[in-house]
Amino acid sequence: MRIIFLGPPGSGKGTQADLISKEFSIPKISTGDILREAVAKGTPLGKKAESKMKKGELVDDETIIGIIKERVKKKDCKKGYILDGFPRTLPQALALESINTDKEIVFLFKISKEELVRRLTSRLVCPKCKAVYNLISLPPKTKGICDICFTPLIKRSDDNEETIEKRYKVWEAEEKVLNDYYTKKGNLYPIDASLGSQVIFEQICSIINKNR
Ligand code: AMP
């Protein structure tokens, strides 16, 4: 089973991917997390991706497709996996077709730009365990500290208004292409991402259970 979460930055797809990963015991693969880790470690991949990420632009298809193809070969993906932040372009979607699965379900998170700016400018993340917080809707128990691993929280360097604006524009172009592609394929489920996290989680679980 392959589950794909499509949506703009800040639409909550990462949070839902974590919940679904636990519920169905399949790994979440986030290309954004893989790239941020590479940047933090200063690997050749990180060096290549860093400037694009800072500007809110997409990293080239060949690099990203290579990362995904290697990752899904691993043993933990045998029962299935969740893709968060991939595919983002038509070549990426087409590359997935060569990786066979018995079932593929695609969720498209929909939300207004105003709500996204509000969410992203108040988002904090844990650099160690990757937990995500929000100063308005989901603050940590102790100010600035991760509830799970007690690491000081940080703001992502691309969560500033200028880069958010750029990332949203990039997303609008992505959405059109991917929406058309998966609508034609017939496996696309739109999700109202302005709803509460628990409601969205239940909707996603119910769709997965009906379709797997
Ligand atoms: P995200 O955490 O998904 O918002 O991704 C952060 C940044 O990583 C994006 O703004 C892109 O620069 C890069 N990135 C993540 N996933 C992809 C992808 N599938 N294709 C190209 N670039 C990506």
Best substitution site from 34, 36, 59, 92 to test ligand 1's pocket, by max atoms within 8 Å of Cβ? Answer: 59
88 is catalytic: yes
CA-based nearest residue to 8, from 86, 114, 118, 109: 109
Question: Residue 74 carries which side chain, given as an amino acid letter?
Answer: K
52 in ligand 1 pocket by Cβ < 6 Å? yes
123 is catalytic: yes
Supply the pTM of this predicted model.
0.88
Per-residue tokens: 37: 């880790």
Per-residue tokens: 84: 């968060």
Number of C-beta neighbours around residue 182 at 10 A:
21
Half-sphere exposure at residue 173, Cβ-oriented, CA atoms within 13 angstroms: 9
Per-residue pLDDT of the chain (212 residues; tens, 9 = 90+): 999 999 998 899 999 999 999 999 999 999 999 999 999 999 999 999 999 998 889 999 999 999 999 999 999 999 999 999 999 999 999 999 999 888 999 999 999 989 888 889 999 999 999 888 999 888 999 999 999 999 999 998 888 888 888 889 999 999 999 999 999 999 999 999 999 889 999 999 999 999 98
Cα 66 to ligand 1 centroid, rounded to whole Å: 14
Per-residue tokens: 179: 């929406």
CA dihedral of residues 94, 209, 76, 171 (deg, nearest 10): 40
